[in-house]
Amino acid sequence: MRSDEARLRRQAERMAAIGRLARTVQHDINNLLTVILANLEMLKRTAAEGAPQRQLNRVEEAARRFDGTSRAILSLIRRPAGEVVPIRLSETLEALQPLLHMILPAPGAFALTLAKQDPPVLIERSAFEEALLALAQQIAEAQLRGPALDLRVAEEAEAGILDLTLPADLAEAARAQLATLVRGAGGRVEPGPDGEGLRLRLPRHDPA
């Protein structure tokens, strides 16, 4: 028992240290990308039209994708495990989008529709994000062609609603993990609006 407690304590200390390091890494990445993007902008002003401009645009696009992916990864690392916090589904999924695209990179494989206004909900954010990433990973391992995962946050004032459209009989473990999280947060899991996939419904959180 004591050895288990000591192991868990060391693991918690290690994760805390990694979280502190992630802030330093993100700061360094920001500085490097600032230099890269500033110099790209200067090069674009003097580069000839046609192929040179297209090549510089591709470099800039890659740098910005790297920025989004690194921010998402480092934010995930810094997130305290087990912490139940108010979130908006649209904001959470927008932050997670670069990682979901990285897991499902084929054109049309992943789609995300965000609500302009969705209410705050209360859930363990780190576990919710990890479950969505596991869902995408399990779908990616099936090596499907065409649309694989479609996430839609509904425009709804009284509940946070996330519709997931995905191939039947895939990612059962991740589906179960998501369902357990949602029910544990006082929500419901329903069939999707078109009879396919899932609808996750989380109650609106109004701070006292």
DSSP 127-151: HHHHHHHHHHHHHHHTT--S--EEE
Q: Looking at residue 72, what is its pLDDT? A: 79
Q: Looking at residue 204, what is its pLDDT? A: 94
Q: Are strands 149-153 and 110-113 parallel, antiparallel or unpaired?
A: parallel
Rg for the chain, CA atoms, rounded: 20
Question: How many CB atoms sit inside 10 A of residue 83's CB?
Answer: 10
Q: Looking at residue 33, what is its pLDDT? A: 85
Q: Looking at residue 13, what is its pLDDT? A: 63
Element (H, E) at 96: helix 89-103
Tokens 């645009």, residue? 57
Residues in CB range of 170: below 8 A, 6 or more apart: 138, 139, 142
Q: pTM (2 decimals)?
A: 0.76
pLDDT in single tens digits along all 208 residues of the chain: 566 676 656 655 665 666 666 677 777 888 888 898 899 999 988 888 998 889 999 999 888 888 888 887 777 777 777 788 899 999 999 999 998 998 998 888 999 999 998 999 999 998 899 889 888 888 888 877 778 899 999 988 899 999 998 877 776 888 888 899 999 999 999 988 777 788 999 999 988 6
Q: Looking at residue 152, what is its pLDDT? A: 95
- DSSP-derived letter for residue 198 is E
Rounded to whole angstroms, the Cα distance separating 167 from 171 reads 9
Crossing angle for the helix pair 51-78 and 2-46, to the nearest 10 degrees: 160
CB contact at 8 A, 129 and 167: no
Q: Looking at residue 87, what is its pLDDT? A: 92
